[in-house]
Amino acid sequence: MNRLQRMIVASFLGMPLIVSAQGTTQSGALHKPTEGRVTNAVVGDRACYLTLQDDLGRVSEEYATFEICEQKPSVIGQRVVLTYKMGEVNAQSCGGDPICAQHDRVPLVVHARILNGPKPKAPTPDASGRLCAHDEQVVFACKTGEKAVSVCASPEASQTSGYIQYRFGKPGAPEMTLPATRLIPPQAATGATETYSGGGAAWLRFRQGTTRYVAYTGIGRWGSKGETREVAGVVVEQSRVANRNLKCVGKVTSLLGPDWFEQVGIQRQSPDESFSLPAP
């Protein structure tokens, strides 16, 4: 890798990452390795944690975007070239809460190029804020203010093949991916449709411990004069109780409904599993 390729400049607060020595880059007083062999990559509550060993045998742990942990082919065991940008991860005080408003600013690995390997495809957002890669199917996507939510699927997703994932974060930099590994749709989430008087809803529920994230769309007579209105967003449930509703803002992309559920084998976990639309 030549000097020009290592001249990585982070625009966040104007803090530059500058080249200091071959195989390293500098952020303030920190020297970050840019070349080495990845010995481990683990999805954590704040970021993807990369363990990197350089040519001198020195080992370091680096923060990376969650996509680095999931990219195919895997970076584990591979010699890589890392690209950093200043970014944000949830603060330690957040205790793993993905919608916590407190963040730490850190040098974040945004690309890991495997030497002598193909360049990975990174999820890139469009105007809707979707966090799916160009070769993935967008099942659900919208912005919820400064952040975005997407449900992404492999093109061949079915009851027995492919995958679906829930992603949440700033456009271009997902902070959460569920499930962390790529599972076939029936193992990744549950979902169904509900019928109400004058309308209905479709929902898709992902789980992480006792916390659940439910992407939904709905239609009903919620206007001041009984006009029909549509709603969409994500409800965050703690111990089965809805405690936050992240409403979609602007354009919404959604395939949620009986046809798609049947195609990929999504169904209720049990006959009594349901979802109630939050107040519009």
User: Residues 225, 248: one domain?
Assistant: yes
Sheet holding 17-21, edge to edge: 17-21, 24-27, 30-33
pLDDT at 88: 83
Structural domain includes residue 94:
yes
Per-residue pLDDT of 179-188, as tens digits, reads 989 999 999 9
User: Which of these three, 91, 114, 137, is where a domain ends?
Assistant: 114
Structural domain includes residue 4:
no
Query: What is the average pLDDT score of the chain?
Result: 81
Per-residue pLDDT of 173-220, as tens digits, reads 788 999 989 999 999 999 999 987 678 899 999 999 889 999 999 988
pLDDT at 98: 65
User: Residues 142, 42: one domain?
Assistant: no
User: Residues 195, 94: one domain?
Assistant: no
Domain residues for the domain of 213 are 123-280
Which residues, other chains included, contact 267 with Cβ-Cβ below 8 Å and sequence gap of 6+?
186, 190, 191, 192, 261
Structural domain includes residue 163:
yes
User: Which of these three, 92, 114, 136, is where a domain ends?
Assistant: 114
Q: Quick check: 268 pLDDT over 70?
A: yes
User: Residues 50, 98: one domain?
Assistant: yes
Overall number of domains in the chain: 2
User: Residues 47, 159: one domain?
Assistant: no
